[in-house]
Structure 1
Amino acid sequence: MTSSDIARAINDLLFSPGVDLAEALDRHFTPDYRQRTNGVWSDRTSFARHITRLRSLIRSGHIEVHDELRDGLRYADRHTVTLSHRDGHTSRTEVYLFAELAPDGRFQRVEETTLLITGQLDDENLGLIK
């Protein structure tokens, strides 16, 4: 299996409506996946609920990776996600991410901090919405 990266994962999870969520999760994340966003931990089930909710709120979007580093099973990046919401507004969030990859190349743990660049006040919580 090819090692995952955040752009492929986000594109499959959020911006490829034809990709089944369970398939995208299996492709990029281990069964024991854990994520901490802005200090709040989620397991894979909770993360799947989060992505399901995001899919219901957004119409389209894209990710721009600014910096990306791999060192063995360690992965880090800085990226910006731009979302076009179903209600017509747009938001941009910058994300600082550190991760541990499983030996098969999938994400096993992610710790990230988000910073809303543009959008509405409620968009500050998009990283935690369920």
Structure 2
Amino acid sequence: MTTTAESLHLYLTRYPKEMVSAAEDPEAVVDRYFTPDYMFLSDGVAQDRRRLLAHARAVRRKAPETDLEVQETVVEGRRVSARYTVRATINGRRMDTEIYMFGEMADDGRLSRLDQITRVLKRPTE
């Protein structure tokens, strides 16, 4: 069984790439990283399963290239937090977004709660 720190690392390093990859159905990716009853807020907007899957499908079409850099993580019991930057190429233009996330991991290593705030560092250039 993985530790909370290992689970957080897997989420941060694999989830974004797996969600934009067409190699696997996005529903399988969501199920791998989130519990069925997860609560996910992004910039104050609830990301239920339907909305998260719709976002994944749109990103797959528009931004198939992503890179992620983790600046810091904190793990305390099952509570986790991280600050990281996602660099994406959207329709051929680069966009950098900094993300501050706070969450809680379930006993099985999946996220049961996630609250994140995003800040665009570099908007897509025309």
1:31 and 2:36 aligned: yes
Partner of 2:63: 58
- How far apart are residue 60 of structure 1 and its match? 0.6
2-side partners of 1:44 and 1:73: how far apart?
Answer: 22
- How far apart are residue 61 of structure 1 and its match? 1.1
8 Å contact kept, 1:35–1:47? no
2-side partners of 1:10 and 1:75: how far apart?
Answer: 17
Quick one: percent identity of the two aligned structures?
32
How do residues 21-100 of structure 1 correspond to structure 2 at under 5 angstroms?
21-85=26-90, 87-100=91-104
- How far apart are residue 5 of structure 1 and its match? 2.7
Give the match's secondary structure for 1:49: helix
- How far apart are residue 83 of structure 1 and its match? 0.4
Amino acid at match of 1:104: D
1-side partners of 2:22 and 2:74: how far apart?
Answer: 28
1:19 and 2:45 aligned: no
- How far apart are residue 17 of structure 1 and its match? 2.9
8 Å contact kept, 2:78–2:104? yes
Gaps (5+ residues) in structure 2? Answer: none
Count of residue pairs the alignment pairs up = 119
2-side partners of 1:46 and 1:62: how far apart?
Answer: 23
Partner of 1:5: 11
Q: What TM-score results when the alignment is normalised by the length of structure 2? A: 0.85
8 Å contact kept, 2:71–2:84? yes
Partner of 1:111: 115
Q: What TM-score results when the alignment is normalised by the length of structure 1? A: 0.82
